[in-house]
Chains A and B, each alone.
Chain A
Amino acid sequence: MRAAVVRASDRQLRRRKLVGTIALGVFIVATLSALGVLAILVGDTLRDGASWLDWSFIKDLPSRRPERAGIWPALVGTVWIMVLTAAFTFPIGVGAAIYLEEFGGTGRLSRIIEINISNLAGVPSIVYGLLGLAVFVELASMGPSVLAGALTMTLLVLPVVIIASREAIRAVPDSLRQASLGIGATRLQTVWSHVLPAAMPGILTGTILALSRAIGETAPLIVVGAATYITFTPEGPTDRFTVLPMQIFDWISRPQADFHAIAAAGILVLLALLLTMNLAAILLRNYFRKNQNW
Protein backbone atom coordinates (compact mmCIF):
# COMPACT_ATOMS: atom_id res chain seq x y z
CA MET A 1 0.00 0.00 0.00
CA ARG A 2 2.64 2.40 1.14
CA ALA A 3 5.03 1.42 -1.64
CA ALA A 4 2.32 2.16 -4.18
CA VAL A 5 1.88 5.63 -2.73
CA VAL A 6 5.58 6.26 -2.90
CA ARG A 7 5.81 5.07 -6.48
CA ALA A 8 2.82 7.18 -7.54
CA SER A 9 4.31 10.29 -6.04
CA ASP A 10 7.66 9.31 -7.50
CA ARG A 11 6.23 9.55 -11.00
CA GLN A 12 4.71 12.90 -10.16
CA LEU A 13 8.00 14.06 -8.68
CA ARG A 14 9.87 13.08 -11.86
CA ARG A 15 7.43 15.13 -13.91
CA ARG A 16 7.98 18.17 -11.68
CA LYS A 17 11.74 17.77 -11.97
CA LEU A 18 11.42 17.55 -15.76
CA VAL A 19 9.51 20.83 -15.82
CA GLY A 20 12.26 22.35 -13.71
CA THR A 21 14.96 21.18 -16.11
CA ILE A 22 13.10 22.53 -19.14
CA ALA A 23 12.57 25.89 -17.44
CA LEU A 24 16.26 26.08 -16.56
CA GLY A 25 17.14 25.45 -20.20
CA VAL A 26 14.82 28.26 -21.34
CA PHE A 27 16.44 30.69 -18.89
CA ILE A 28 19.95 29.78 -20.03
CA VAL A 29 18.98 30.28 -23.69
CA ALA A 30 17.44 33.67 -22.83
CA THR A 31 20.58 34.80 -21.03
CA LEU A 32 22.89 33.55 -23.76
CA SER A 33 20.92 35.22 -26.55
CA ALA A 34 21.21 38.59 -24.79
CA LEU A 35 24.94 38.05 -24.29
CA GLY A 36 25.27 36.72 -27.83
CA VAL A 37 23.75 39.83 -29.40
CA LEU A 38 26.11 41.99 -27.36
CA ALA A 39 29.10 39.88 -28.34
CA ILE A 40 28.20 40.07 -32.06
CA LEU A 41 27.74 43.85 -31.87
CA VAL A 42 30.97 44.47 -30.04
CA GLY A 43 32.85 42.00 -32.22
CA ASP A 44 31.59 43.58 -35.43
CA THR A 45 32.43 47.06 -34.22
CA LEU A 46 35.89 45.96 -33.11
CA ARG A 47 36.59 44.38 -36.51
CA ASP A 48 35.60 47.55 -38.33
CA GLY A 49 37.05 50.14 -36.03
CA ALA A 50 39.89 48.71 -33.95
CA SER A 51 42.55 49.38 -36.59
CA TRP A 52 41.63 53.08 -36.67
CA LEU A 53 41.69 53.40 -32.91
CA ASP A 54 44.92 55.03 -31.81
CA TRP A 55 46.03 57.97 -29.74
CA SER A 56 45.94 60.45 -32.62
CA PHE A 57 42.34 59.43 -33.40
CA ILE A 58 41.38 60.38 -29.88
CA LYS A 59 43.43 63.59 -29.76
CA ASP A 60 42.77 64.89 -33.30
CA LEU A 61 40.11 67.26 -34.56
CA PRO A 62 37.62 66.05 -37.19
CA SER A 63 38.78 66.33 -40.77
CA ARG A 64 37.47 65.87 -44.27
CA ARG A 65 40.17 63.28 -44.82
CA PRO A 66 39.38 60.11 -42.86
CA GLU A 67 43.02 59.25 -42.06
CA ARG A 68 43.42 62.60 -40.27
CA ALA A 69 40.01 62.68 -38.58
CA GLY A 70 39.84 62.53 -34.79
CA ILE A 71 37.20 62.55 -32.12
CA TRP A 72 38.65 64.96 -29.54
CA PRO A 73 36.03 67.76 -29.67
CA ALA A 74 33.16 65.28 -29.37
CA LEU A 75 34.85 63.49 -26.48
CA VAL A 76 35.46 66.72 -24.61
CA GLY A 77 31.91 67.85 -25.38
CA THR A 78 30.46 64.63 -23.99
CA VAL A 79 32.54 64.92 -20.83
CA TRP A 80 31.46 68.56 -20.41
CA ILE A 81 27.78 67.66 -20.84
CA MET A 82 28.03 64.69 -18.46
CA VAL A 83 29.87 66.55 -15.71
CA LEU A 84 27.48 69.50 -15.79
CA THR A 85 24.43 67.24 -16.03
CA ALA A 86 25.64 65.25 -13.02
CA ALA A 87 26.30 68.44 -11.07
CA PHE A 88 22.76 69.70 -11.76
CA THR A 89 20.96 66.37 -11.47
CA PHE A 90 22.43 65.01 -8.27
CA PRO A 91 21.44 67.75 -5.79
CA ILE A 92 18.06 68.42 -7.41
CA GLY A 93 17.17 64.75 -7.83
CA VAL A 94 18.27 63.68 -4.36
CA GLY A 95 16.68 66.74 -2.79
CA ALA A 96 13.36 66.02 -4.47
CA ALA A 97 13.55 62.36 -3.45
CA ILE A 98 14.26 63.30 0.18
CA TYR A 99 11.35 65.68 0.22
CA LEU A 100 8.93 63.19 -1.29
CA GLU A 101 10.00 60.28 0.89
CA GLU A 102 10.77 61.89 4.24
CA PHE A 103 8.72 65.07 4.42
CA GLY A 104 6.05 64.99 1.73
CA GLY A 105 3.61 62.73 3.53
CA THR A 106 1.09 60.56 1.76
CA GLY A 107 -1.52 63.14 0.82
CA ARG A 108 -3.20 63.72 -2.50
CA LEU A 109 -0.59 66.26 -3.61
CA SER A 110 2.25 63.76 -3.06
CA ARG A 111 0.42 61.15 -5.08
CA ILE A 112 -0.13 63.58 -7.96
CA ILE A 113 3.56 64.53 -7.93
CA GLU A 114 4.54 60.87 -7.81
CA ILE A 115 2.39 59.94 -10.81
CA ASN A 116 3.70 62.91 -12.76
CA ILE A 117 7.31 62.02 -12.14
CA SER A 118 6.68 58.48 -13.34
CA ASN A 119 5.05 59.89 -16.46
CA LEU A 120 7.93 62.28 -17.07
CA ALA A 121 10.33 59.34 -17.01
CA GLY A 122 8.45 57.95 -20.01
CA VAL A 123 8.33 61.13 -22.13
CA PRO A 124 10.27 60.75 -25.43
CA SER A 125 13.65 62.43 -25.24
CA ILE A 126 13.02 64.62 -28.28
CA VAL A 127 10.24 66.36 -26.36
CA TYR A 128 12.81 67.40 -23.77
CA GLY A 129 14.90 68.70 -26.65
CA LEU A 130 12.04 70.93 -27.80
CA LEU A 131 11.55 72.15 -24.23
CA GLY A 132 15.29 72.87 -23.97
CA LEU A 133 15.23 74.75 -27.25
CA ALA A 134 12.29 76.91 -26.17
CA VAL A 135 13.37 77.57 -22.60
CA PHE A 136 17.16 77.47 -22.42
CA VAL A 137 18.29 78.29 -25.95
CA GLU A 138 15.63 80.87 -26.84
CA LEU A 139 13.98 82.21 -23.69
CA ALA A 140 17.11 82.28 -21.52
CA SER A 141 19.13 83.13 -24.66
CA MET A 142 21.90 80.68 -23.86
CA GLY A 143 22.19 79.74 -27.52
CA PRO A 144 23.24 76.24 -28.57
CA SER A 145 25.80 76.10 -25.76
CA VAL A 146 27.18 73.39 -23.47
CA LEU A 147 25.08 74.86 -20.65
CA ALA A 148 21.82 74.64 -22.62
CA GLY A 149 22.66 71.07 -23.60
CA ALA A 150 23.47 70.06 -20.04
CA LEU A 151 20.31 71.64 -18.65
CA THR A 152 18.23 69.82 -21.27
CA MET A 153 19.91 66.55 -20.35
CA THR A 154 19.23 67.32 -16.68
CA LEU A 155 15.51 67.53 -17.41
CA LEU A 156 15.75 64.25 -19.24
CA VAL A 157 17.45 62.21 -16.51
CA LEU A 158 15.94 63.95 -13.48
CA PRO A 159 12.79 61.79 -13.25
CA VAL A 160 14.84 58.60 -13.40
CA VAL A 161 17.25 59.87 -10.74
CA ILE A 162 14.35 60.91 -8.48
CA ILE A 163 12.67 57.53 -8.82
CA ALA A 164 15.92 55.61 -8.17
CA SER A 165 16.77 57.81 -5.16
CA ARG A 166 13.30 57.39 -3.70
CA GLU A 167 13.61 53.62 -3.98
CA ALA A 168 16.99 53.74 -2.24
CA ILE A 169 15.66 55.98 0.55
CA ARG A 170 12.58 53.82 0.99
CA ALA A 171 14.78 50.74 1.40
CA VAL A 172 16.44 52.20 4.51
CA PRO A 173 14.85 50.36 7.44
CA ASP A 174 12.51 52.40 9.59
CA SER A 175 14.24 51.14 12.72
CA LEU A 176 17.17 53.38 11.83
CA ARG A 177 14.97 56.47 11.66
CA GLN A 178 13.29 55.55 14.95
CA ALA A 179 16.66 55.02 16.63
CA SER A 180 17.69 58.50 15.62
CA LEU A 181 14.40 60.25 16.41
CA GLY A 182 14.20 58.35 19.70
CA ILE A 183 17.27 60.12 21.07
CA GLY A 184 15.96 63.57 20.23
CA ALA A 185 17.23 64.09 16.69
CA THR A 186 15.20 66.24 14.32
CA ARG A 187 13.91 64.89 11.03
CA LEU A 188 16.62 66.72 9.12
CA GLN A 189 19.42 65.43 11.38
CA THR A 190 18.02 61.93 10.97
CA VAL A 191 17.93 62.18 7.19
CA TRP A 192 21.32 63.83 6.88
CA SER A 193 23.29 61.61 9.26
CA HIS A 194 21.62 58.24 8.87
CA VAL A 195 19.11 57.87 6.05
CA LEU A 196 21.18 59.53 3.34
CA PRO A 197 24.46 57.68 4.04
CA ALA A 198 22.54 54.41 4.16
CA ALA A 199 20.77 55.17 0.89
CA MET A 200 23.88 56.52 -0.86
CA PRO A 201 24.93 53.29 -2.62
CA GLY A 202 21.52 52.98 -4.25
CA ILE A 203 21.31 56.67 -5.08
CA LEU A 204 24.74 56.69 -6.75
CA THR A 205 24.03 53.55 -8.72
CA GLY A 206 20.74 54.97 -9.97
CA THR A 207 22.25 58.33 -10.85
CA ILE A 208 25.22 56.93 -12.76
CA LEU A 209 23.09 54.44 -14.66
CA ALA A 210 20.72 57.27 -15.63
CA LEU A 211 23.70 59.35 -16.79
CA SER A 212 25.12 56.50 -18.84
CA ARG A 213 21.81 56.26 -20.65
CA ALA A 214 21.94 59.98 -21.32
CA ILE A 215 25.45 59.73 -22.73
CA GLY A 216 24.09 57.95 -25.80
CA GLU A 217 21.18 60.34 -26.32
CA THR A 218 21.34 62.34 -29.54
CA ALA A 219 17.85 63.53 -30.31
CA PRO A 220 17.44 66.24 -27.63
CA LEU A 221 20.87 67.70 -28.38
CA ILE A 222 20.14 67.88 -32.12
CA VAL A 223 17.06 69.92 -31.32
CA VAL A 224 18.98 72.14 -28.91
CA GLY A 225 21.37 72.80 -31.77
CA ALA A 226 24.56 70.93 -31.04
CA ALA A 227 26.94 71.15 -33.95
CA THR A 228 27.66 68.16 -36.16
CA TYR A 229 31.03 69.37 -37.30
CA ILE A 230 33.22 71.56 -35.17
CA THR A 231 36.95 71.97 -35.25
CA PHE A 232 37.50 73.32 -31.76
CA THR A 233 36.96 71.96 -28.25
CA PRO A 234 34.53 73.68 -25.92
CA GLU A 235 36.42 75.67 -23.30
CA GLY A 236 33.52 76.69 -21.10
CA PRO A 237 29.79 76.29 -20.52
CA THR A 238 28.87 78.99 -23.04
CA ASP A 239 30.76 77.45 -25.96
CA ARG A 240 29.22 75.50 -28.82
CA PHE A 241 29.76 71.78 -28.68
CA THR A 242 29.16 68.40 -30.16
CA VAL A 243 28.94 64.99 -28.49
CA LEU A 244 30.13 61.50 -29.36
CA PRO A 245 26.87 60.05 -30.70
CA MET A 246 26.40 63.06 -33.00
CA GLN A 247 29.94 62.81 -34.31
CA ILE A 248 29.40 59.09 -34.93
CA PHE A 249 26.14 59.81 -36.73
CA ASP A 250 27.86 62.43 -38.89
CA TRP A 251 30.54 59.96 -39.99
CA ILE A 252 28.10 57.15 -40.68
CA SER A 253 26.01 59.39 -42.93
CA ARG A 254 28.99 60.07 -45.21
CA PRO A 255 29.39 57.93 -48.33
CA GLN A 256 33.10 56.94 -47.97
CA ALA A 257 33.73 53.50 -46.44
CA ASP A 258 36.66 54.81 -44.39
CA PHE A 259 34.35 57.15 -42.52
CA HIS A 260 32.15 54.19 -41.60
CA ALA A 261 35.22 52.54 -40.09
CA ILE A 262 36.02 55.71 -38.12
CA ALA A 263 32.44 55.69 -36.89
CA ALA A 264 33.04 52.19 -35.52
CA ALA A 265 36.17 53.46 -33.77
CA GLY A 266 34.06 56.29 -32.32
CA ILE A 267 31.54 53.77 -31.02
CA LEU A 268 34.39 51.96 -29.26
CA VAL A 269 35.37 55.20 -27.52
CA LEU A 270 31.76 55.75 -26.47
CA LEU A 271 31.54 52.17 -25.17
CA ALA A 272 34.75 52.59 -23.21
CA LEU A 273 33.43 55.78 -21.61
CA LEU A 274 30.20 54.01 -20.73
CA LEU A 275 31.95 51.04 -19.17
CA THR A 276 34.16 53.37 -17.17
CA MET A 277 31.10 55.11 -15.76
CA ASN A 278 29.44 51.82 -14.86
CA LEU A 279 32.65 50.67 -13.22
CA ALA A 280 32.71 53.89 -11.23
CA ALA A 281 29.13 53.19 -10.14
CA ILE A 282 30.10 49.75 -8.87
CA LEU A 283 33.20 51.01 -7.05
CA LEU A 284 31.32 53.87 -5.40
CA ARG A 285 28.54 51.54 -4.31
CA ASN A 286 31.00 49.10 -2.78
CA TYR A 287 32.81 51.92 -1.03
CA PHE A 288 29.65 53.23 0.62
CA ARG A 289 28.38 49.78 1.44
CA LYS A 290 31.54 48.72 3.20
CA ASN A 291 30.51 49.92 6.61
CA GLN A 292 26.82 49.17 6.59
CA ASN A 293 25.07 45.86 6.51
CA TRP A 294 21.90 45.09 8.31
Chain B
Amino acid sequence: MSVVPQLTSHNLDADLASANTIIEAAGVNIYYGDFLAFRDANLRVPEHKITSLIGPSGSGKSTLLRAFNRMNDLVPSARVEGKILFHGENLYDQGIDPVAVRRLIGMVFQKPNPFPKTIYDNVAWGAKINGYKGNMDELVERSLRSAALWDEVKDKLKSSGLSLSGGQQQRLCIARCIAVQPEVILMDEPCSALDPIATLRIEDLMRELSENYTILIVTHNMQQAARVSDMTAFMTMGEGRAGEMVEIGPTRELFTSPKNPRTEDYITGRVG
Protein backbone atom coordinates (compact mmCIF):
# COMPACT_ATOMS: atom_id res chain seq x y z
CA MET B 1 0.00 0.00 0.00
CA SER B 2 1.45 3.31 -1.03
CA VAL B 3 0.87 6.20 1.29
CA VAL B 4 3.38 8.62 -0.17
CA PRO B 5 1.53 11.91 -0.12
CA GLN B 6 0.74 13.96 -3.16
CA LEU B 7 2.85 16.87 -2.13
CA THR B 8 1.61 20.34 -2.67
CA SER B 9 3.47 23.57 -2.35
CA HIS B 10 2.13 24.28 1.13
CA ASN B 11 4.34 21.58 2.59
CA LEU B 12 7.41 23.76 2.47
CA ASP B 13 9.70 22.85 5.30
CA ALA B 14 11.21 26.31 5.48
CA ASP B 15 7.77 27.76 6.05
CA LEU B 16 7.21 25.19 8.76
CA ALA B 17 10.51 25.92 10.47
CA SER B 18 9.75 29.63 10.67
CA ALA B 19 6.28 29.13 12.22
CA ASN B 20 5.80 30.05 15.87
CA THR B 21 4.88 27.38 18.37
CA ILE B 22 1.38 28.23 19.59
CA ILE B 23 0.78 25.27 21.87
CA GLU B 24 3.18 22.76 23.24
CA ALA B 25 3.10 19.59 25.32
CA ALA B 26 6.09 19.33 27.63
CA GLY B 27 6.65 16.10 29.52
CA VAL B 28 2.96 15.27 29.69
CA ASN B 29 1.83 12.09 31.45
CA ILE B 30 -1.87 11.30 31.40
CA TYR B 31 -3.44 8.90 33.87
CA TYR B 32 -6.87 7.33 34.22
CA GLY B 33 -6.81 6.42 37.88
CA ASP B 34 -3.62 4.39 38.30
CA PHE B 35 -3.41 3.54 34.62
CA LEU B 36 -0.81 5.52 32.67
CA ALA B 37 -2.52 6.23 29.34
CA PHE B 38 0.20 8.39 27.80
CA ARG B 39 3.86 8.62 28.77
CA ASP B 40 6.03 11.70 28.41
CA ALA B 41 4.42 13.49 25.49
CA ASN B 42 6.50 16.28 23.99
CA LEU B 43 5.05 18.08 21.00
CA ARG B 44 5.35 21.58 19.58
CA VAL B 45 2.40 22.61 17.45
CA PRO B 46 3.24 25.29 14.86
CA GLU B 47 0.85 28.22 14.50
CA HIS B 48 -1.51 28.30 11.49
CA LYS B 49 -0.43 24.83 10.41
CA ILE B 50 -2.11 21.47 10.48
CA THR B 51 -0.52 18.92 12.75
CA SER B 52 -1.77 15.37 12.68
CA LEU B 53 -1.51 12.71 15.35
CA ILE B 54 -1.41 9.22 13.90
CA GLY B 55 -0.93 5.78 15.38
CA PRO B 56 -2.68 2.47 15.96
CA SER B 57 -5.72 2.03 18.20
CA GLY B 58 -4.86 2.33 21.87
CA SER B 59 -1.87 4.58 21.26
CA GLY B 60 -3.54 7.39 23.18
CA LYS B 61 -4.07 9.84 20.30
CA SER B 62 -7.47 11.04 21.45
CA THR B 63 -6.40 11.06 25.08
CA LEU B 64 -3.50 13.32 24.22
CA LEU B 65 -5.66 15.55 22.01
CA ARG B 66 -8.16 16.05 24.81
CA ALA B 67 -5.40 17.15 27.15
CA PHE B 68 -4.89 20.22 24.95
CA ASN B 69 -8.22 21.83 25.89
CA ARG B 70 -8.76 20.13 29.23
CA MET B 71 -11.59 17.92 27.98
CA ASN B 72 -10.01 15.18 30.06
CA ASP B 73 -11.17 17.10 33.12
CA LEU B 74 -14.64 15.73 32.41
CA VAL B 75 -13.46 12.20 33.17
CA PRO B 76 -13.38 12.12 36.98
CA SER B 77 -10.44 9.72 37.21
CA ALA B 78 -8.26 11.49 34.60
CA ARG B 79 -5.13 13.30 35.73
CA VAL B 80 -2.51 15.20 33.73
CA GLU B 81 1.11 15.70 34.79
CA GLY B 82 3.56 17.96 33.02
CA LYS B 83 2.76 21.10 31.10
CA ILE B 84 0.63 22.11 28.17
CA LEU B 85 1.92 25.54 27.21
CA PHE B 86 -0.39 27.83 25.25
CA HIS B 87 1.48 31.00 24.25
CA GLY B 88 3.93 29.96 26.94
CA GLU B 89 1.31 29.71 29.71
CA ASN B 90 0.67 26.36 31.37
CA LEU B 91 -3.00 25.43 30.90
CA TYR B 92 -2.85 23.19 33.95
CA ASP B 93 -1.70 25.92 36.33
CA GLN B 94 -3.82 26.72 39.34
CA GLY B 95 -6.22 29.50 38.51
CA ILE B 96 -6.65 28.57 34.86
CA ASP B 97 -10.33 28.13 34.07
CA PRO B 98 -10.96 25.17 31.76
CA VAL B 99 -14.04 26.94 30.40
CA ALA B 100 -11.86 29.83 29.19
CA VAL B 101 -9.36 27.34 27.75
CA ARG B 102 -12.04 25.64 25.68
CA ARG B 103 -13.19 28.93 24.22
CA LEU B 104 -9.71 29.55 22.82
CA ILE B 105 -9.05 25.93 21.92
CA GLY B 106 -12.17 24.54 20.28
CA MET B 107 -12.99 20.97 19.44
CA VAL B 108 -14.65 19.01 16.64
CA PHE B 109 -15.66 15.48 17.54
CA GLN B 110 -15.57 12.11 15.87
CA LYS B 111 -19.30 11.82 15.41
CA PRO B 112 -21.04 14.99 14.22
CA ASN B 113 -22.90 16.30 17.27
CA PRO B 114 -24.95 19.36 16.35
CA PHE B 115 -27.33 20.63 19.01
CA PRO B 116 -30.97 19.61 18.47
CA LYS B 117 -31.67 23.24 17.58
CA THR B 118 -31.91 25.25 14.37
CA ILE B 119 -28.88 25.65 12.13
CA TYR B 120 -28.78 29.34 13.08
CA ASP B 121 -28.88 28.63 16.81
CA ASN B 122 -26.22 25.95 16.49
CA VAL B 123 -23.78 28.59 15.30
CA ALA B 124 -25.06 31.50 17.38
CA TRP B 125 -25.35 29.81 20.79
CA GLY B 126 -21.65 29.47 21.54
CA ALA B 127 -20.96 33.06 20.55
CA LYS B 128 -23.90 34.28 22.62
CA ILE B 129 -22.87 32.55 25.85
CA ASN B 130 -19.32 33.78 25.37
CA GLY B 131 -20.60 37.35 25.36
CA TYR B 132 -20.49 38.17 21.66
CA LYS B 133 -22.04 41.62 21.24
CA GLY B 134 -21.72 42.23 17.49
CA ASN B 135 -24.17 41.52 14.70
CA MET B 136 -25.24 37.91 15.19
CA ASP B 137 -26.65 37.40 11.67
CA GLU B 138 -23.35 38.53 10.25
CA LEU B 139 -21.35 36.21 12.52
CA VAL B 140 -23.55 33.25 11.63
CA GLU B 141 -23.14 33.93 7.92
CA ARG B 142 -19.39 34.44 8.21
CA SER B 143 -18.94 31.26 10.25
CA LEU B 144 -21.05 29.19 7.89
CA ARG B 145 -19.15 30.62 4.91
CA SER B 146 -15.84 29.78 6.57
CA ALA B 147 -17.09 26.26 7.09
CA ALA B 148 -18.08 26.04 3.39
CA LEU B 149 -21.69 25.40 4.35
CA TRP B 150 -23.41 28.74 3.70
CA ASP B 151 -24.59 28.06 0.17
CA GLU B 152 -26.21 24.80 1.18
CA VAL B 153 -28.09 26.11 4.21
CA LYS B 154 -28.69 29.83 3.62
CA ASP B 155 -32.35 29.20 2.73
CA LYS B 156 -33.08 26.97 5.72
CA LEU B 157 -31.32 28.52 8.69
CA LYS B 158 -34.42 27.86 10.79
CA SER B 159 -34.52 24.13 10.18
CA SER B 160 -32.98 21.68 12.60
CA GLY B 161 -29.25 21.06 12.48
CA LEU B 162 -30.10 17.38 12.64
CA SER B 163 -31.89 17.54 9.28
CA LEU B 164 -28.54 17.88 7.49
CA SER B 165 -26.45 15.04 6.07
CA GLY B 166 -23.52 13.67 8.07
CA GLY B 167 -20.92 15.69 6.18
CA GLN B 168 -22.99 18.86 6.45
CA GLN B 169 -23.51 18.25 10.16
CA GLN B 170 -19.77 17.99 10.65
CA ARG B 171 -19.22 21.26 8.78
CA LEU B 172 -21.95 22.80 10.95
CA CYS B 173 -19.98 21.66 13.98
CA ILE B 174 -16.90 23.33 12.51
CA ALA B 175 -18.91 26.52 11.93
CA ARG B 176 -20.14 26.36 15.52
CA CYS B 177 -16.57 26.00 16.67
CA ILE B 178 -15.18 28.93 14.69
CA ALA B 179 -18.09 31.21 15.61
CA VAL B 180 -16.51 31.38 19.07
CA GLN B 181 -13.31 32.58 17.36
CA PRO B 182 -10.83 30.16 18.89
CA GLU B 183 -7.14 30.15 18.04
CA VAL B 184 -6.70 26.40 17.91
CA ILE B 185 -9.14 23.76 16.64
CA LEU B 186 -8.74 20.22 17.87
CA MET B 187 -10.28 17.59 15.62
CA ASP B 188 -10.80 14.07 16.90
CA GLU B 189 -11.11 11.84 13.80
CA PRO B 190 -13.56 14.30 12.24
CA CYS B 191 -14.08 12.23 9.09
CA SER B 192 -14.34 8.72 10.48
CA ALA B 193 -18.14 8.77 10.29
CA LEU B 194 -18.24 10.32 6.81
CA ASP B 195 -18.17 8.99 3.26
CA PRO B 196 -15.12 9.69 1.02
CA ILE B 197 -16.62 12.70 -0.76
CA ALA B 198 -17.71 14.39 2.46
CA THR B 199 -14.25 13.57 3.81
CA LEU B 200 -12.54 15.36 0.92
CA ARG B 201 -14.71 18.43 1.48
CA ILE B 202 -13.68 18.56 5.13
CA GLU B 203 -10.04 18.15 4.16
CA ASP B 204 -10.27 21.04 1.69
CA LEU B 205 -11.94 23.05 4.40
CA MET B 206 -9.13 22.28 6.84
CA ARG B 207 -6.58 23.63 4.36
CA GLU B 208 -8.54 26.86 4.08
CA LEU B 209 -9.01 27.16 7.82
CA SER B 210 -5.32 26.69 8.47
CA GLU B 211 -4.71 30.20 7.13
CA ASN B 212 -6.40 31.61 10.20
CA TYR B 213 -6.43 28.78 12.70
CA THR B 214 -4.05 26.21 14.06
CA ILE B 215 -5.41 22.72 13.60
CA LEU B 216 -4.46 19.62 15.53
CA ILE B 217 -6.11 16.52 14.13
CA VAL B 218 -6.24 12.91 15.26
CA THR B 219 -6.75 10.53 12.37
CA HIS B 220 -6.81 6.80 11.82
CA ASN B 221 -6.31 7.40 8.16
CA MET B 222 -2.66 7.74 7.16
CA GLN B 223 -3.51 9.01 3.69
CA GLN B 224 -5.52 11.75 5.30
CA ALA B 225 -2.60 12.78 7.48
CA ALA B 226 -0.35 12.72 4.42
CA ARG B 227 -2.79 14.72 2.29
CA VAL B 228 -3.74 17.37 4.75
CA SER B 229 -1.14 17.99 7.40
CA ASP B 230 2.09 19.95 7.58
CA MET B 231 3.43 18.17 10.62
CA THR B 232 2.86 14.61 11.72
CA ALA B 233 3.41 12.97 15.07
CA PHE B 234 3.44 9.19 15.14
CA MET B 235 2.68 7.47 18.42
CA THR B 236 2.19 3.91 19.48
CA MET B 237 1.33 1.78 22.46
CA GLY B 238 4.45 1.23 24.51
CA GLU B 239 5.39 -0.44 27.74
CA GLY B 240 2.48 -1.13 30.11
CA ARG B 241 0.01 -0.25 27.31
CA ALA B 242 0.82 3.43 27.72
CA GLY B 243 0.84 5.57 24.59
CA GLU B 244 4.16 7.10 23.66
CA MET B 245 5.52 9.41 21.02
CA VAL B 246 7.72 7.67 18.43
CA GLU B 247 8.54 10.30 15.85
CA ILE B 248 7.58 13.86 15.06
CA GLY B 249 8.45 15.63 11.86
CA PRO B 250 7.30 17.49 8.79
CA THR B 251 4.70 15.29 7.15
CA ARG B 252 6.66 14.77 3.95
CA GLU B 253 9.78 13.72 5.80
CA LEU B 254 7.96 11.42 8.14
CA PHE B 255 6.19 9.63 5.32
CA THR B 256 9.08 9.46 2.84
CA SER B 257 12.10 8.98 5.05
CA PRO B 258 11.05 8.02 8.56
CA LYS B 259 13.92 7.97 11.01
CA ASN B 260 12.49 5.38 13.35
CA PRO B 261 12.01 1.82 12.06
CA ARG B 262 8.74 1.56 13.99
CA THR B 263 7.36 4.52 12.06
CA GLU B 264 8.42 2.90 8.83
CA ASP B 265 6.73 -0.38 9.78
CA TYR B 266 3.51 1.45 10.51
CA ILE B 267 3.33 3.72 7.48
CA THR B 268 4.24 0.90 5.11
CA GLY B 269 1.43 -1.16 6.58
CA ARG B 270 3.54 -3.87 8.15
CA VAL B 271 2.00 -3.29 11.58
CA GLY B 272 -1.00 -1.48 12.83
Which A residues have a C-beta under 8 Å from some C-beta of B? 105-106, 173, 175-186, 189, 193-194, 197-198, 291-294
Contact = CB atoms under 8 A, between A and B. Distances in A.
B102 A184 contact: yes
Given A182-B102, A292-B116, 6 more contacts: A173-B113, A178-B74, A179-B173, A183-B130, A184-B106, A185-B129
Contact of A184 (B74, B103, B116): B103
A178 B76 contact: no
Interface in B117-154: 117, 125-126, 129-130
A186 B104 CA distance: 14
B32 interface: no
Given A106-B76, A184-B180, A179 B103 contact: no
A185 B99 contact: yes
Interface of B: 69, 71, 74, 76, 99-100, 102-104, 106-107, 109, 111, 113-117, 125-126, 129-130, 160, 162, 173, 176-177, 179-180
A145 to B, nearest CB: 43
Contact of A180 (B104, B115, B162): B115
Task: Output the residue of A105, A183, A194 with the most chain B CB within 10 A.
Answer: A183
A182 B110 CA distance: 13
A189 B129 contact: yes
Given A291-B116, A293-B116, A294-B116, A182 B109 contact: yes
A12 B113 CA distance: 47
Contacts of B179: 183
Contacts of A198: 116
- Which 8 pairs between the two chains have the least Cβ-Cβ distance? A184-B103, A292-B116, A183-B126, A182-B107, A175-B113, A179-B113, A184-B102, A183-B180
A194 B117 CA distance: 9
A275 B109 CA distance: 44
Nearest to A190: B129
B130 A184 contact: yes
A179 B76 CA distance: 18
Nearest to B177: A183
B109 to A, nearest CB: 6
B80 to A, nearest CB: 17
A184 B71 contact: no
Contacts of B104: 184
